[in-house]
Structure 1
Amino acid sequence: MRNLLRRLLAVTAAAAAVTGALLGVLLASGHAAVVVTHGVSMNPVYYQGDLVAVARADAYHVGDIVAYHVHGGTEIALHRIIGGDANGFTIKGDNNQSTDIDHPAADQIIGRAVLHVPQAGTALKALTSPPVLALAAFALLGGGTTVLTRRQRRRARRRTSMSRHLETGAPSRPLALDQLLQRPLRAWTAGTLVALALSAALGAWAWSGPTEAGAPTSQAVQGRSMDFSYSAPVRPSPAYDGTTVSSPDPVFRKVLAGSVTVAYTYHGPAGTASAAAELSAPGGWHATIPLTGPQPIGDGGTGKAVLDLAALEARAQAAAQATGTTTTPLAVALVPTVHADGTDYAPALKLTLAPLQLSLSDPTGLSTGQKAAGPAAPAAKERSLALGAWSLGAAAARPLSAGALAAAALALAGVALAARRRGPQDEAARVRARWGSLMVPVHPVPAAPGRATVDVDDIATLARLAERYGLLILTWSRSGVETFIVNDENITYRYRTGAAQVPLSEAGAEEGARGGHTR
């Protein structure tokens, strides 16, 4: 069972290392990316804190969940394609009532969702934070030294208390740092330690700051905003207190007496403004209807646009008859586009048109209207590491560092397991690894006249005798045979590696025999 678990660990470590390497290559080459979800726009498919891996595809189709940069900036949206084509897709969050303003083309899409790990984004952020990475690197790099220190302490205790009884079972093989540094494991150990250090350094850099360099701290510094409001005449009825309905109240169409007027107040540099209504349906149909032409507008200037709900609904119904798709509910976005200082600013008032009412798509945070701020400053650039033609962004470096750290840790565990299983290769080396603290290397010792020689069956017996009488084990090598002896009074206890038995009267220094007695 233990061997099976070791094999499974080795296979798991190898698979993790290969997976980490492939993921690193894909992320670094830009063919894949990792997105950590935020908000509730894709509930119940994804929830906040989920991790989703996306990969580039040759073509994208209706129903695919894709990631793209919002307004061409650094913010990433992960929503579903509901219509359009490669020249411009219509995209919508499953939990949103309206479609996205952007219509990214196929070459603007980062990739299609291929892997979903619930709540892994939250765990990944915690595991790859700088304190955790530093602690993991310290623990892994210091593991071998800790084992070696423990072994030295055990040896010291054995030297000061040699009367302890030895275990009679099979000798254990503690893993020491020198085993990891022996050939051929030396190169593997060095490689895994370098990988650990590099992945820890990469994670510390990726999590030490925001993913964007010099990102704006607030929308107010961007210098443009717009307030929306709407109103419409209604017939006297219990539905309203008066004959006018104003934002943010819904407009009930059964008592509507005219068109809905949308007013907007612009704050920013002077320019020209034109308004349009963008219609979109759940089946993927969308259309843009111009409402007003370009008109001069300055800071604090106002504009108006009229929404004829019956005309908008008739346009959608005609499209439904032609396409055979449903247009209910119909998403209506009133978009005034302000052209100033060579750039366009196009916020949107998002409404939902149903057979019985017109209402705000997102009523939260609204008082008398909707305020939107637009990017007048250049989009923030993502922090990245450049190495020649290769570039790695901070957002991609975060999961990459975590995967590389896990793969390197598993690889180091596999190397340690291999070193433990490999152990000393011959019997003499195993004996020294287990009982080296009791042994003294000497020159071959001749047999003393009148001293009896007793051959013991195993080295454990000889070691028990040495500890019992407080003696040291004398050892030497000759003709490929390792000899271990313990001299006690008039008896020499001896153990030899292998089956060969060589007479004890081998040539050697007699002083070694006298030096072996410690009593």
Structure 2
Amino acid sequence: MKGPLRRLLSALSALVAAGAALLGILLASGQAAVVVTHGVSMNPVYYQGDLVVVARGGAYGAGDIVAYHVHGGTEIALHRIIGGDATGFTIKGDNNQSTDVDHPADAQIIGRAVLHIPQGGTVLKTLTSPPMLALAAFALLGGGTTALTRRRRRRARRRTNPMSRHLENGTPASQRPFTGLLQRPLRAWTAAAGAALALSAALGAWAWPGPTETAAPAAQAVQGKSMDFSYTAPVRASAAYEGTTASSPDPVFRRVLAGNVAVAYTYHGPSGTITVSAELSTPGGWHATVPLKDTAAFTGGSYSGTVDLDLQALEAKVQAAAQATGAPSTPVSIAVVPTVHAEGSDYAPALKLALTPLQLNLADSAGLTAAQKATAAAPAPRALTLGVWSLTAALARPLSAAGLAAALLALAALALASRRHRPLDEATQIRRRWGSLLVPVHPSPTPPGKTVVDVSDFATLARLAERYGLLILHWSRSGVETYLVNDESTAYRYRSGDAEPIQSEIADTGNREITATP
């Protein structure tokens, strides 16, 4: 069962490595992304800490769970499409009461959910933390040492077994941990896998502990701006008003109007300059701009001012244009636009009014207040930059995890290959090449009266055996391999193994030793 099980594990390891490599390629190319869920907006489909892989699709529709950048920033939402089309989808979290504020278009969607791993984000963050990376490297080294210890114990048990001690044709020499990984042709592959492991560990140590983005400098923040409008007009005493002044947001009836309409505006925001104008337009397409107030500079973060609208003069300008063009002259759209130039940009809200022969009224009931919310520059992604090449922390996290897994699997596969193809010890080489000449026997001393000649290599002993037509006696004791060819008066011997056991066995024979070098 060991053989099939080992092959099955090797196949599974290869599949996992291939999947990790494919995922890494997709992530690097932008065709896929990894999202770790937060909050409860998608319960019970997803829970906090789940890992979801999203991939770009050809078209999205109702029912798809998609990821997109909230407000175009770096925060990612993973919610379900419930309506809309490619120009703008309506999206909602399954556990939310209301729909999302954003309506991302097809091009703004990162991808559709294709793979869900419950609590995968929590596990991934734990596995790629610096302590776990160090522990994985330590376990890899410790595993090799443990396997070596087990092999040594098995060899020790075989030596204590009388049958294996007498009949065994050789005991493999002890090898140091990972010796096979440093032999050709595995050396280059081992170096590459080790470098990938170190690079992935270093990348993970940088990417996971810190945030995925850095806060934008305070200087890049855009201060909030707002403009409040109001208007008043003197009117004659009549049943139209309770007094002699018409005020916003009430309409101004022209039959009782006793003067110009005063438009007041109050600005709050960065200091700068302000210019006020009126933009006139009619349904026929005619339009014109009438200056109301020259440019004025201000400081202090606020500015208030007032301009007068002479309705008769404005209407006369419109009538002259209508006579020249033949286009309709009513109703007239009047937009009072204070343009503020501050911090290098223009802020130009408008008070929109509609003028007819009977009255002047607000074209938009909500138009008395305009505001531009304070915004800050989007946080910059934390990234490693080398020349024109840049890698963000958000992308480095899954890449480091995939690289670490692939490197560990590659080292495991190389270790297995090195065990299968490790260099053969001398006893095994002798047994494979000259096995037909060997005769396993019990250890025994050389018969008295025979001269013992120690040859320097086994090939010489094999040639002597073939020359005299003799077999080679072989036994193993205390880690020493002894090979003996008995001639009529001479015993030719070759030994391999540890030096100390060899000396002790020579002392046991009590015979004269001669060393021969052919």
Q: Aligning the two structures, in what range does the TM-score lie when normalised by the shorter sequence?
A: 0.5 to 0.7
Quote the sequence identity (%): 59
Following superposition of structure 1 onto structure 2, how do residues 200-349 of structure 1 map, counting pairs within 5 Å?
Answer: 200-214=201-215
- Within 2, Cα distance between the matches of 1:212 and 1:462? 74
Q: 2:160 aligns with which of 161, 165, 175?
A: 165
Partner in structure 2 of residue 441 of structure 1: none
- Within 2, Cα distance between the matches of 1:91 and 1:506? 90
> Gapped runs of 5+ residues in structure 2?
227-266, 273-299, 304-340, 348-371, 432-437, 447-453, 463-471, 496-500, 509-518
SS of the residue 1:202 aligns to: helix
Counterpart code for 1:139? A
- Within 1, Cα distance between the matches of 2:68 and 2:179? 51
Q: 1:374–1:195: structure 2 CA closer, same or farther, 3 Å change rule?
A: farther
8 Å Cα contact 1:487-1:517 kept in structure 2: no
After superposition, what is the alpha-carbon deviation per residue over 1:304-324, rounded to whole angstroms, capped at 9, x for unaligned?
Answer: xxxxxxxxxxxxxxxxxxxxx
Q: Does 1:69 align with 2:52?
A: no
- Within 2, Cα distance between the matches of 1:502 and 1:412? 49
Alpha-carbon deviation of 1:68? 0.7
Partner in structure 2 of residue 407 of structure 1: 406
Q: Does 1:129 align with 2:124?
A: no
Alpha-carbon deviation of 1:124? 0.9
Q: 1:508–1:94: structure 2 CA closer, same or farther, 3 Å change rule?
A: closer
Counterpart code for 2:375? A
SS of the residue 2:458 aligns to: strand
Alpha-carbon deviation of 1:134? 2.2
8 Å Cα contact 1:56-1:111 kept in structure 2: yes
After superposition, what is the alpha-carbon deviation per residue over 1:338-367, rounded to whole angstroms, capped at 9, x for unaligned?
Answer: x997599xxxxxxxxxxxxxxxxxxxxxxx
Q: Does 1:476 align with 2:454?
A: no
8 Å Cα contact 1:462-1:494 kept in structure 2: no
Partner in structure 2 of residue 195 of structure 1: 196
Alpha-carbon deviation of 1:393? 2.0
Alpha-carbon deviation of 1:383? 1.6
Q: Does 1:23 align with 2:23?
A: yes
Counterpart code for 1:384? A
Following superposition of structure 1 onto structure 2, how do residues 301-450 of structure 1 map, counting pairs within 5 Å?
Answer: 376-386=375-385, 391-425=390-424, 428-429=427-428
Coordinate RMSD, CA, aligned: 5.1
Counterpart code for 2:440? D
TM-score normalised over the length of structure 2: 0.54
Aligned residues: 346
8 Å Cα contact 1:9-1:414 kept in structure 2: no
Partner in structure 1 of residue 49 of structure 2: 49
- Structure having the higher Rg: 2
Alpha-carbon deviation of 1:102? 0.9
Alpha-carbon deviation of 1:119? 0.8
After superposition, what is the alpha-carbon deviation per residue over 1:454-499, rounded to whole angstroms, capped at 9, x for unaligned?
Answer: x8626xx559x9xxxxxxx9983215959866899xxxx98559xx
Alpha-carbon deviation of 1:94? 1.0
After superposition, what is the alpha-carbon deviation per residue over 1:354-390, rounded to whole angstroms, capped at 9, x for unaligned?
Answer: xxxxxxxxxxxxxxxxxxx966110011122346665
Q: 1:270–1:124: structure 2 CA closer, same or farther, 3 Å change rule?
A: farther
SS of the residue 2:107 aligns to: helix
8 Å Cα contact 2:37-2:47 kept in structure 1: yes
Alpha-carbon deviation of 1:21? 1.2
- Within 2, Cα distance between the matches of 1:389 and 1:145? 44
Counterpart code for 1:422? H
Q: 1:29–1:505: structure 2 CA closer, same or farther, 3 Å change rule?
A: same
Q: 1:141–1:270: structure 2 CA closer, same or farther, 3 Å change rule?
A: farther
- Within 2, Cα distance between the matches of 1:377 and 1:484? 86
Alpha-carbon deviation of 1:426? 7.1
Alpha-carbon deviation of 1:62? 1.5
Partner in structure 1 of residue 354 of structure 2: none
Q: 1:267–1:393: structure 2 CA closer, same or farther, 3 Å change rule?
A: farther
Alpha-carbon deviation of 1:216? 7.9
SS of the residue 2:160 aligns to: coil
- Within 2, Cα distance between the matches of 1:390 and 1:412? 29
> Gapped runs of 5+ residues in structure 1?
227-265, 272-297, 302-338, 345-372, 433-454, 466-472
Partner in structure 2 of residue 332 of structure 1: none
SS of the residue 1:517 aligns to: helix
- Within 1, Cα distance between the matches of 2:503 and 2:137? 51
8 Å Cα contact 2:439-2:473 kept in structure 1: no
- Within 1, Cα distance between the matches of 2:133 and 2:486? 58
- Within 2, Cα distance between the matches of 1:73 and 1:47? 23
Q: 1:52–1:428: structure 2 CA closer, same or farther, 3 Å change rule?
A: same
8 Å Cα contact 2:458-2:494 kept in structure 1: no
SS of the residue 1:21 aligns to: helix
- Within 2, Cα distance between the matches of 1:62 and 1:494? 77
Q: 1:474–1:214: structure 2 CA closer, same or farther, 3 Å change rule?
A: farther
